[in-house]
Chains A and B, each alone.
Chain A
Amino acid sequence: MKHIVTLKTRNLCESAANGGCGECQTSCQSACKTSCGIANQRCEKAEKKQSK
Chain B
Amino acid sequence: MPLREDTHAIDIERIRADFPILARETRPGVRLVYLDNAATSQKPLPVIEAMDQYYRHENANIHRGIHRLAEEATERYESARRKIARFVGAGSWREVIFTRNTTEALNLLARTWGRANLKEGDRVLLTEMEHHSNIVPWQMLAAEMGIELDFVPVTEEGLLDMEAFERLLGQEPKLVGLTQMSNMLGTINPIAEMATRAKQAGAVVLVDGAQSVPHIPVDVQALGVDFLAFSAHKMLGPTGIGALYGREELLREMPPFLGGGDMIKRVELGGFTVNDLPWKFEAGTPPIAEGIGFGAAIDYLEGIGMEAVHAYEQALTAYALERLEEVPGVRVYGPGADQKGAVTSFTMEGLHPHDVAHILDDAGIAVRAGHHCAMPVHLRFGIPATTRASYYIYNTFDEVDRLIEALYRVKEIFQA
B and A form one assembly: no
